[in-house]
Amino acid sequence: MSRVLLISRSRRFETRLRSLIGTDMDAIMGNSVAKGAPAVLRRLVPGDEPVVALLGPALSYAQAYEFSAGISTLYPRTKIMLVRDCKDWENERWLTTMRVDGIASPGLDDRALVAAVENLAVSLSEAPPVEAERFDPRPAGESDLDGFSSDASTDSDAPTDSDAPTDEDSVSNEAIASSIDEEWGTPDQQGGPVDANTVAQQDSEETWPAATGELQPTSPAFRGQIITVVSPKGGMGKTTVATNLTIGLARLAPMSVVLVDADVQFGDVATALALDPVYSLPDAVSDVAASDAMILKTFLTPHPSGFFTICGSPSPIEGDRVTGEQLSHLIGQLSQVFRYVVVDTAPGLGEHTLAAIERADDMVAICGMSVTSGRGLRKYLEVLSSIGIMPLERHVVLNCTDRYSGLSVRDVESTTGVHMDVAVPRSKAVVLSSNRGIPVLQEKAKNPAWKAYSALVRRFDPSVDRSRGRHARTVALK
């Protein structure tokens, strides 16, 4: 391994750094970065660690977080430096949630940039040995790290020393490498062409992390975010909101988002996305899939926009065989692998919807521009609060707004008793996109509905600073 490892999406910075460091540098660039840390880091050899790893510039918060967690676990002694403009460091989460040892602006002159890297290298030579992270043998359901988590246990949770393991229960570099291969599964993740500086055969070898073991992070706990989309009544546009939300999240975390159609009888996610799935929800909750995440992977249907789906049952009779307990277990499995799990539920408060809500970290509730819809949502939220399963985070979408219903946004808020976070205008573009199976956010043409859906997606973007007051409501009326 080279003395310096650069992980970046900026070709200009990579060329500059290589001219300064020369052959003493390796780089992970382009589409490999977008496909995620597990697919890349599983190829790096434990024990042959870089001295300094540089993250950025041009990495998103999610990408920087994932690579910092993975590198600090695989190479405990490697020093990690974030390369980012100082003016962008107003959000302290970048500093407090990642295990980093230094920060450098990409605008530094050549001498200062090399000095910053050299200073980290010197601090490593003076630092005492660092104990490697333990492989946590906890059973499935107790995982708390997205992208690096799984549910297979090990016979021991022996620590490793990156320099020279001496204890009887410490594991060798080969054992760590084997555990990582088991952790992240057989490589076959989809993706585009790979940059020349990355490992060859990316398209045939990339993988999304399989749930077969668990690595305990050194940074604060992190796991996949479960977002349940609900509505008290049918016909509110719930599936349209869910599909557009998923499209947007896939841009934040490519190949690390999954959409589950939890309307077991009349789910129409496949139709809304113009998909012809081979497998459906009953296959994904079968005994063999429930016990093996690698088999579960084969039941997922990929979408061209860079996410996966579990489509609803082709018939109500087959869908009725899926229990709420099975659905809950499935959602838990997926949250150990994917950064975002979006669940499109059936209207009302049936068994499956309640199971999905109970699992959720965030809930997106849909309300229509009518008195009956507003009252229905008020009762819906009251019931969830009374039985104690209201998710910690909640976002209310006012759908199909217009100037001709006789109601204003404030009228609906008064009826429901809650704030409308995003208002989506009634639009011919939405109707057309639904009939074509191409969500609004999948197309480049921007319109008021596109703006509203994008505002909803930003509420789940970890790089957005939410520390200053409430999000501005996005209301776009024709």
The H-assigned helical ranges of 305-408 are: 316-319, 324-335, 351-359, 371-387
| The Cα angle at residue 343 between residues 320 and 458, in degrees rounded to 5 | 165
pLDDT value, residue 127? 53
Segments in the chain below pLDDT 50:
1, 88-90, 130-222, 469-478
For residue 111, what are the contacts with CB-CB under 8 A and spacing of at least 6?
Answer: none
In contact, 257 and 246? CB cutoff 8 Å: yes
Q: Which fold has domain 4-128?
A: Rossmann fold (3.40.50)
Assess contact for 73 and 176: CB atoms under 8 A. no
pLDDT of residue 196: 35
C-alpha 476, offset from chain centre: 28
Predicted pLDDT at 287: 86
Question: Can you give the pLDDT at residue 224?
Answer: 86
Structure letter (DSSP) for residue 464? S
Write the single-letter amino acid at 388: G
The pLDDT, as a whole number, for residue 92 is 57
| Per-residue confidence (pLDDT) for residue 367, from 0 to 100 | 93
Look at strands 301-303 and 307-310 and give their pairing.
antiparallel
All CATH 3.40.50.2300 domain ranges of the chain, comma separated, are 4-128
> DSSP character for 442?
G
Q: Which two tokens stand for residue 427?
A: 């639009």
Site of tokens 């490992």: 199
Check residue 46 and give its pLDDT.
Answer: 64
Extract the tokens encoding 164. Answer: 């020279």
pLDDT given for residue 184 in this prediction = 39
- What are the C-alpha distances in Å from 54 to residues 27, 253, 260? 9, 20, 36
Side chain identity at residue 95, one-letter code = L
What are the C-alpha distances in Å from 19 to residues 6, 15, 79, 105? 13, 6, 21, 18
The class (CATH top level) of 225-475 is alpha beta
Q: Extract the tokens encoding 53.
A: 């790893």
Residues in Cβ contact with 103 at an 8 Å cutoff, skipping those fewer than 6 apart: 81, 82, 83, 84, 86, 89, 95
Which tens digits make up the pLDDT trace of 24-71? 888 888 777 777 777 777 777 666 788 899 888 888 777 888 888 888
> What is the token pair recorded at 163?
């320099």
Specify the domain boundaries for CATH 3.40.50.300 within the chain.
225-475
In angstroms, the Cα distances linking 107 to 81, 86, 119, 349 are 15, 10, 18, 54
